[in-house]
Amino acid sequence: MLTWLTFAVAWAVGVFPGKYLFHLLLMTIFVSVGFWLVFRLDLNLRFKDKDLTAEQMAISLIPPLYALFYLDNPQARSSILLIIFIPLVYGILGLRRKQFVRIGLLNFLFCMLLIVGLWSLRPAYVDLRIEMVQLTALLVVIGQLIVIGGYISELRSRLRKNNVQLEEALETIKEMASTDELTGLANRRALLEKIELEFSRCSRGGPGFSVCLVDVDFFKRINDSYGHHAGDEVLRELAQTMKACLRKIDCVGRFGGEEFLLVLPQTSLEGAVLKSERLREVVEGLRFDSIEAGLVVTISIGVAQYDCKENFEQTIARADTALYAAKNRGRNRTVSELDIEASSAPA
């Protein structure tokens, strides 16, 4: 519309015919509505550049060049020709260097065609000396814009690359902050965040959850007999085994030392006990032949279900009590909080 207003001033001072001003208005509206429909109907998604920057710049040249052809005053034409630089300025921020060069050369070609057309069809309104100077100045300005545009494009490219590297670094830091380095499982901090999340869900009326404390039986004996590297190998193997046995919504992490914590959303105490027993049996079936032929490692598990009347620290404490009972009852077993209550009830 700014282009149309400029030519409206030219019409007001008598150097531009009114009927072509009306044509220019129709062309401007047609181009604007056309691109609005393209974006409204998501047709732009078919192109690599979803903003259609180059296409908008090229098509936006047509209405002013059409109007310039019918502008009677050569000096006025030289001044209004500056309008074609407006799309180039916007393109600096949206195009890569090669695209910007192509659009700049296209602008210059269109201007040359305009002069050739005027010289052929309306020679009375053309001063070739002025037009040659004008084209030379136009080429110089477009060349400078191409240089500046290329420099800005390079800066934008570097910025995008730096942003990608920054996002990757932040993701790595976030992962390191929530991951146990040895086992690759969630660390204690991430586990507590998961429990806090489930606690919030339950407080809003969501389904309950259960927790299972898992401890490796006689782990100190493994370290003392085979070395700490063997103990690390055992922990890594158990971590991957537990992870493979759980659902996607479950969370398992290293709670400390040789102790692991399982957070089982939407799981009752009975369901948690069944899952713990399956896990215990799978671990018992593992063989650590790389450490010693036929070496078997077992685990003890304490299970508790979250009670909406308590905080999650109390739930973990009850699971720890059940784990302690499993150790006292001979290890390689699962004990739930209900088992503790039943054994402590009077006969």
CB 89: neighbour CB atoms within 10 A? 11
Q: Is residue 74 a contact partner of residue 118, using CB atoms and an 8 Å limit?
A: no
CB 340: neighbour CB atoms within 10 A? 17
Query: What is residue 179's DSSP assignment?
Result: B
Exposed, middle or buried by CB within 10 Å (0-12, 13-18, 19+), for 212? Answer: buried
Q: Is residue 63 a contact partner of residue 29, using CB atoms and an 8 Å limit?
A: no
In the chain, what's the furthest Cα-to-Cα distance?
A: 120
Catalytic choice (258, 270, 284, 341): 258
Q: Using CA atoms, how far apart are residues 262 and 117, in angstroms rounded to an integer? A: 80
Q: Token pair for residue 84?
A: 């074609």
Q: Is 206 helix (H, G, I), strand (E, B) or coil?
A: coil
Amino acid identity at 212: C
Interacting residues of 318 by C-beta distance below 8 A, sequence separation 6+: 304, 337, 340
Q: Token pair for residue 285?
A: 């079936």
CA dihedral 182, 184, 189, 193 (to 10 degrees): -170
Measured CA distances, 75 to 11, 16, 71, 139 (Å): 15, 13, 10, 18
Query: Which of 99, 17, 28 is CA-nearest to residue 60?
Result: 28
258 is annotated as an active-site residue: yes
| Residues that are catalytic | 258
